[in-house]
Structure 1
Amino acid sequence: MPSEPTEPPARPNILILMTDQQRTGFTAGAGGPDSMPRVDALLEDGTRFERAYTSAPACVPARTSLLTGRFPSAHRVRQNSTPQQAVYSSDLLDVLRGRGYRLHFAGKPHMHAQPEDFDAYHGPFMHEGGPADSPEQEAFDAWLHELDHSVAHDPAPFGPEVQLPARIIDGAIRDLDARTGEDPFLLWVSFPEPHNPYQVPEPYFSMFDPAEVPDRTVGPEVLDRMGWRFRWLHSLIEEKRPGFDTEWRRLRANYLGMLRLIDDQIGRLLDRLGPVLDDTVVIVLSDHGDLVGEYGLQRKGAGLPEALVRIPLGVAGPGIASQRRAEPVSIVDVLPTLCELVGAPFPPGVQGRSLLPLLKGEEAPAEEFSTMYAEHGYGGVSYGEGDRPPLHFPYEGRSFDELNSVTQSGEMRMVVDGRYKLIADDLGTFSLHDLQEDPAEIHDLIDDPALAEVREGLLRRLALWMMRVADDLPVGAYRPREAPHNWRWAVPSAAEGHGPEGHEAEGLAAEEHTAAGRPADPPR
């Protein structure tokens, strides 16, 4: 049973601790190595969602979903190159600004919000460096660039203090110390790690023995049973970096060391906040996962496997019960949860659900929390395994981007319950996987007659999800019916009366707009 939570302040401080490309299961609290003890200790007194999902396994689409509470097909940012095309009514920053919050950001942005949207901004930090205050930091950033997103086989020749997590926390602490007044704050700390390049200095490089890292579930031997995107990407990387898969154990050791480095820096921040944490709700999450050697692949870029779409998500602080929750939840649920936490209405067009009742330890209605949905694809028609069109990087040389116009082509959608997962693409291909018996999703059971009822149930639920994420924007003359907490499948039937109250869109922009600030073109 969850512990009895205390009552949170009317406007608690909010601390978002976000990693980039963190795979679930790589911390002790999630059943893996002891890589993030401070975070695990923090969440021991809070709520850990054990089946949390991203909206799409790519940085900018997922982060846009965090800020807007909308899926990529609605906010329209489906690749990392289009953040300024985000479509929404009001985002998290608008909501909190309207409630009197001071807004602080430190780290990797990869989002539509700009530095001027914050009261304090320390960045941008990306995977090859950031603002440098010393020649040593500049030299480290140059070394990162030369590493070319690969796996370092020796310790980074620079101390932890020049690594990006330390510099990000330095700036976050500096900005917090400069605060004046009593207004509550949002501090969003966004680490570029453990995203590639996979490197770490001592003592972290030697903390996790490559011979003792968690075994991968499968290697490249299963590629002939996977979708063509996996094989295409593996062939591309092997062409550019022959034998790259032999380093997967070193990769995992570095990855775990990067998590411990991040954890130590989070510890510095928590120690500095001290008693301020008593009035602070802390959200710990990542934008998406990492293959970390599964299928003989690194990074991301192929399909919707659990390794990429599952994310760590936990919440701690006043009013939050100490518990583990098994309901499928999503990164899109963060915005409506914070809206309800601070007493703000949900902006028009929000598709996520408030998790606040769950955070308080209340029961979750099964009809609302039985499945979760995610998306993939830049649009257009899917390429095929034999296609080799021009890319935004050359086929020659070592450099590559796993998020490219081939592996991200077309459309793909998934729906998952506690055990089974259904995936559909734009070419009419459907697959069904038993995650309990086949966690690597190697065996396609779509034609198994014994699972006909499971298949039909997930197809119906996928259809419902795709209607749910159809965009309610722009707001027009007719006001949609709203549900408490945005729990649309738990709302009373029409025969029971309208019921929902308290989520009027008063004071929020009614018209659809893009992150660039201009009205969107009307539908044609």
Structure 2
Amino acid sequence: MTCPTAPNIVLVMTDQLRADFTAGVGFALDTMPFLDSIAAEGTRFRRAYTTAPACVPARTSLLTGRWPSTHRARQNSTLSPLDVSRGDDLLDVLRGAGYQLFFAGKTHMYRDDPEEYDAFSGPYGHTKGPDTTTEQRAFTSWLNSIDMGPTSAPTPFPAEQQYAYRIVSDTIQQVDARDADKPFFAWVSMPEPHNPYQVSEPYFSMFDEDEVPHRSCGPEAAQAKGGAYKWLRDLVEEKRPGYDDNWRRYRATYCGMLRLIDDQVRRLVDHLKAQGLWENTLLIFLADHGDYVADYGLQRKGAGIPEALARIPMIVHGCGVRAKDNTKDFVSIADILPTVCEAVGRPIPLGVQGRSLWQMVTGSDYPAAEFSDIVTERGYGGLPYPDDARPPLHFPYEGSRYDELNSVTQSGSSRMIRHDRYKLYEHVVDDGELYDLDKDPMELDNRWDDPSLRKVKADLMQRLHRWSVRLTDDLPQGRYTARLAQHNWYRTSKKDGA
């Protein structure tokens, strides 16, 4: 479809959604049939990555088009705008292009002031919402009582009380009250399927424990990898003995949560169609990062940058977007801002490091070398803690409560680069890591010192160095005039190679 005017833009963002958990990408269970159908009509990126496997760093990258080492929000506790280095961001660009700005859902970012939007509903959290009714307050109270889950029984509230349902209802109200003479940007930010792992019927029983595909590896893998993996695994086992015994149940619940989200996206799209808005709407669907979902015997996130956390679902559908299952190009959450800039005819702001995907999704020529690799970062700095460390945390060692993002799991600094079938890590100290993901998708066989991969390692390190230079901050702008790359593509010559 083509757009006669500036397209409406709907950004649906989920929290902690695995990229490989739908039938459309080969998962054994049909968890998100509607999103898979949308992907079949638009462009699905199979090699999409977050800039960091944590909420605030990733969401700040989406807004700014910059990596965490540049925008400086490197942990979830750095929420203040004063902690974020940026120029014009996504909201600035769209406001400058004449868009109405709507937001509904989880914020966990620096643009959380309702006054910055034409309509704002929230903030929703994982165990809190803007509750106004007795039943809403009861649901939120129940969420807090389950200690971030997972649960072993259906949620004792109807699906209409789930935050994903309420957020879509809020978005529908915002769209219906819009100024019809202006395009709109609706950011639909769902806290799910982030823990607590819970869901109402019929979703709780939709996928049986016995039909859940077997996980790729269990607790033995966390012990073998050591470091933060072992530390986190040991900590949670200490706090919740035997928690991993129920991994099939909570995986089934997670899959039910995906279907709940899928049904809400369908409900939103159906409403846009009924209002005659769908033909002029650009839909972007993605997550901020992934989830272990019991791989490594772990829940949530925290240790390392495995594919389960680093890869994200990313789908673009609508005005001018061609149907393509893109299995080749490495793209990033930081690419959303420059892509939207070109979709609405605005220049990409200085300081943006992401690359426009607009030519890619609309079927124009683009350089393969520019998208032949990608970088993800992790860590807030300093030295990494050893796996027997017991430093003070922001929660007690006693009791069942824990936060997987903490001083130990996020300590130090790491960067990983993906190219072709290989993945390389460089850490602030000690040796790096090198994996052949075709043979070792769970990253259990470190080939760093393997002489047969010497050339592969050298090539990846050169690519990572190039990215490190590229991620140097261009802000603040001084008196010199930068020569900006068209579409923010740097690698356009044949000698760059793929």
Taking structure 1 as the reference length, what is the TM-score of the superposition?
Answer: 0.92
Structure 1 residue 128 and structure 2 residue 123: aligned? no
Q: 1:224: how far off?
A: 3.5
**How far apart, in 2, do the equivalents of 1:362 and 1:231 lie?**
46
Q: 1:381: how far off?
A: 1.5
Structure 1 residue 335 and structure 2 residue 330: aligned? no
Q: 1:75: how far off?
A: 0.5
Superposition map of 1:164-203 within 5 A: 164-203=163-202
Contact (CA 8 Å) 2:164, 2:190: kept in 1 or not? yes
Partner of 1:51: 47
Partner of 2:9: 14
**How far apart, in 2, do the equivalents of 1:228 and 1:26 lie?**
27
Q: 1:492: how far off?
A: 8.8
1:366 to 351, 365, 368: 368
Amino acid in structure 1 at the alignment position of 2:245: T
**How far apart, in 2, do the equivalents of 1:137 and 1:362 lie?**
48
Contact (CA 8 Å) 2:65, 2:334: kept in 1 or not? yes
Contact (CA 8 Å) 1:375, 1:414: kept in 2 or not? yes
Partner of 1:310: 311
Structure 2 residue matching 1:460: 3-state secondary structure? helix
Structure 1 residue matching 2:199: 3-state secondary structure? coil
Amino acid in structure 2 at the alignment position of 1:276: L
Q: 1:181: how far off?
A: 3.3
**How far apart, in 2, do the equivalents of 1:103 and 1:370 lie?**
34
Structure 1 residue matching 2:11: 3-state secondary structure? strand
**How far apart, in 2, do the equivalents of 1:185 and 1:43 lie?**
22
Structure 2 residue matching 1:83: 3-state secondary structure? coil
Q: 1:214: how far off?
A: 1.8
Amino acid in structure 1 at the alignment position of 2:470: R
**How far apart, in 2, do the equivalents of 1:252 and 1:203 lie?**
16
How many pairs are equivalent? 488
Partner of 1:248: 247
Amino acid in structure 2 at the alignment position of 1:87: S
Q: Any runs of at least 4 consecutive aligned residues in structure 1 with deviations exceeding 4 A, and if so which?
A: none
Structure 1 residue 384 and structure 2 residue 382: aligned? no
**How far apart, in 2, do the equivalents of 1:492 and 1:444 lie?**
32
2:415 to 404, 413, 416: 413
Partner of 1:158: 157
Range that drifts further, 275-284 or 356-365? 356-365
Partner of 1:3: none
**How far apart, in 2, do the equivalents of 1:165 and 1:133 lie?**
16
Q: 1:21: how far off?
A: 0.1
Amino acid in structure 2 at the alignment position of 1:488: Y
Contact (CA 8 Å) 1:483, 1:491: kept in 2 or not? no
Unaligned residue ranges in structure 1 (runs of 5+) = 1-5, 494-524
Amino acid in structure 1 at the alignment position of 2:213: P
Structure 1 residue matching 2:46: 3-state secondary structure? strand
**How far apart, in 1, do the equivalents of 2:403 and 2:42 lie?**
37
Q: 1:378: how far off?
A: 0.9
Partner of 1:486: 488
Range that drifts further, 106-115 or 478-487? 478-487
Unaligned residue ranges in structure 2 (runs of 5+) = none
Q: 1:119: how far off?
A: 0.5
Contact (CA 8 Å) 1:10, 1:342: kept in 2 or not? no
Q: CA RMSD in A?
A: 1.2
Structure 1 residue matching 2:370: 3-state secondary structure? coil
Contact (CA 8 Å) 1:64, 1:83: kept in 2 or not? no
Q: How much identity, in percent, do the aligned residues show? A: 54
Show CA shifts across 1:423-471 (max 9, x none).
1111132010001000000000011111100000000001011111111
Show CA shifts across 1:36-73 (max 9, x none).
11111122110000100000000010000000000000
Contact (CA 8 Å) 2:40, 2:325: kept in 1 or not? no
Superposition map of 1:393-412 within 5 A: 393-412=395-414
Q: 1:10: how far off?
A: 4.3
Partner of 2:98: 100
Q: 1:83: how far off?
A: 2.1
Taking structure 2 as the reference length, what is the TM-score of the superposition?
Answer: 0.96
Contact (CA 8 Å) 1:78, 1:378: kept in 2 or not? yes
Partner of 2:324: 323
Amino acid in structure 1 at the alignment position of 2:181: E
Contact (CA 8 Å) 1:323, 1:361: kept in 2 or not? no
Show CA shifts across 1:122-144 (max 9, x none).
10000002011311111010000
Contact (CA 8 Å) 1:482, 1:488: kept in 2 or not? no
**How far apart, in 1, do the equivalents of 2:461 and 2:419 lie?**
12
Structure 2 residue matching 1:478: 3-state secondary structure? coil
**How far apart, in 2, do the equivalents of 1:433 and 1:290 lie?**
20
Partner of 1:226: 225
Partner of 1:63: 59
**How far apart, in 1, do the equivalents of 2:344 and 2:127 lie?**
36
2:349 to 347, 353, 372: 347
**How far apart, in 2, do the equivalents of 1:80 and 1:223 lie?**
23
Amino acid in structure 1 at the alignment position of 2:188: V
Q: 1:491: how far off?
A: 5.9
Structure 2 residue matching 1:90: 3-state secondary structure? coil
**How far apart, in 2, do the equivalents of 1:338 and 1:387 lie?**
44
Partner of 1:211: 210
Structure 1 residue 467 and structure 2 residue 469: aligned? yes
Partner of 2:34: 38
**How far apart, in 2, do the equivalents of 1:367 and 1:267 lie?**
36
Contact (CA 8 Å) 2:226, 2:387: kept in 1 or not? no
Structure 2 residue matching 1:110: 3-state secondary structure? coil
**How far apart, in 2, do the equivalents of 1:429 and 1:304 lie?**
16
Structure 1 residue 285 and structure 2 residue 283: aligned? no
